[in-house]
Structure 1
């Protein structure tokens, strides 16, 4: 008799556990997709190392030219 009265409770607990597990699986999949999206965005933004060095060298040359102009020196 006691088992018969516990059956609906066990079924509801099993259903709740399954629903929570499914929700967690979907949430984890969404989180992984979001992380993949952010990684892709960072990969698109980051220039390769060689290009970055060229940009820094160009900026240094521009600063040098501006300093020369400010000091009234012709390069």
Structure 2
């Protein structure tokens, strides 16, 4: 039974789609694992509340400086 060009092309296309679907599924699962790790990380690190407040005050100070620069005020 000889294979026609259309049958070979159809089989190759089906194999290619299966490979792409498997690769996409693997990538999706990896991305989900990464997001789960990012969500779980803050609870595992045990950072103190004071460090968060220091970072927040630093950001607020930088924002005040940028607003002053935008308003044309010399610091």
Structure 2 stretches of 5 or more lacking a match? Answer: 52-75
TM-score if structure 1 supplies the norm length? 0.55
User: Following TM superposition, where does structure 1 have runs of at least 4 consecutive aligned residues deviating by more than 3 angstroms?
Assistant: none
Matched pairs, number: 49
2: CA distance, partners of 1:9 / 1:48: 63
TM-score if structure 2 supplies the norm length? 0.55
Whichever of the two has the greater Rg, that structure is: 1
Aligned-partner SS, 2:18? helix
* Number of the residue aligned with 2:29: 30
2: CA distance, partners of 1:48 / 1:8: 64
Q: What's the RMSD between the two structures over aligned residues?
A: 2.2
